Amino acid sequence: MNLITADYIYTPNGFVENGTVAYNDKIEAVDTLQALTEKYPDADIHYAGKNSVLYPGFINTHVHLEFSANTTTLKYGGFMPWLDSVIKHRDELIQACDNRLMLSKTKEMLHSGITTFGAISSFGAELEACVEAAQRVVFFNELIGSNAAYADALYNDFLERIKASQSCEEKDHITPAIAIHSPYSVHPVILQRAVQVAKQNNLPLSAHFLESQAERQWLEEGEGDFKPFFEKFFNTSTPVTSIKEFMHAFDTYPTHFTHCVQANEDELAHLSSKGHSIAHCPRSNRLLGCGRLEIEKVRGLKIPFSVATDGLSSNWSLNLFDELRAAVMMHHAGPLETLSNLLIRSVTSDAAKILRLNVGRIEAGREADFAIISLPDTPSSVDDIALQTILHTQKASEVYIGGEKIV
Q: Which does 211 bind (CB under 5 to 8 A by kind): Fe ion, ligand BEZ, none?
A: none
By C-beta, is 47 or 234 nearer to ligand BEZ? 234
Is 31 one of the binding residues for Fe ion (CB under 5 A)? no
- Our CA angle for 52, 55, 59, nearest 5°, is 140
Is 142 one of the binding residues for Fe ion (CB under 5 A)? no
Q: Which does 310 bind (CB under 5 to 8 A by kind): ligand BEZ, Fe ion, none?
A: Fe ion
The dihedral formed by the CA atoms of 282, 124, 350 and 184, expressed in degrees to the nearest 10: 50
Least separation in angstroms between residue 210's CB and ligand BEZ is 15
Q: Which does 145 bind (CB under 5 to 8 A by kind): ligand BEZ, Fe ion, none?
A: ligand BEZ
Is 323 one of the binding residues for Fe ion (CB under 5 A)? no
Binding part of the chain for Fe ion, among 179-187, 249-257, 305-313, 356-364 by CB under 5 A, reads 305-313
Binding part of the chain for Fe ion, among 41-49, 51-59, 289-297, 310-318 by CB under 5 A, reads 310-318
What does the alpha-carbon distance between residue 124 and residue 138 come to, in Å, rounded to a whole number?
13
Residue nearest to Fe ion (CB): 310
Q: Which of 211, 267, 323, 398 is catalytic?
A: 211
Is 310 one of the binding residues for Fe ion (CB under 5 A)? yes
> Is the separation of the CB atoms in 6 and 46 below 8 Å?
no
Q: Quick one: CA dihedral 16, 367, 110, 85, positive or negative? A: negative
Q: Which does 19 bind (CB under 5 to 8 A by kind): Fe ion, ligand BEZ, none?
A: none
Least separation in angstroms between residue 204's CB and ligand BEZ is 22
Least separation in angstroms between residue 259's CB and Fe ion is 7
Least separation in angstroms between residue 178's CB and ligand BEZ is 17
Least separation in angstroms between residue 65's CB and ligand BEZ is 18
Closest listed residue to residue 201, CA positions, set 233, 226, 166, 229? 166
Q: Which does 309 bind (CB under 5 to 8 A by kind): ligand BEZ, Fe ion, none?
A: none
Question: What are the C-alpha distances in Å from 139 to residues 128, 132, 167?
Answer: 11, 13, 12
By C-beta, is 99 or 147 nearer to ligand BEZ? 147
Least separation in angstroms between residue 279's CB and Fe ion is 8
By C-beta, is 267 or 310 nearer to Fe ion? 310
> Is the separation of the CB atoms in 198 and 140 below 8 Å?
no
By C-beta, is 67 or 230 nearer to Fe ion? 67
Q: Which does 126 bind (CB under 5 to 8 A by kind): Fe ion, ligand BEZ, none?
A: none
Residues sharing a CB contact under 8 Å with residue 302, sequence separation 6 or more, in sequence order: 272
By C-beta, is 145 or 176 nearer to ligand BEZ? 145
Least separation in angstroms between residue 233's CB and ligand BEZ is 7
28 is annotated as an active-site residue: no
> Is the separation of the CB atoms in 188 and 244 below 8 Å?
no
> Is the separation of the CB atoms in 56 and 360 below 8 Å?
yes
Q: Report the DSSP pairing between strands 305-307 and 277-280.
A: parallel
By C-beta, is 310 or 350 nearer to Fe ion? 310
Which parts of this chain interact with ligand BEZ (CB under 6 A)?
Answer: 144-146, 184-185, 234
Binding site for Fe ion (CB under 5 A): 310
Write out the catalytic residue numbers. 211
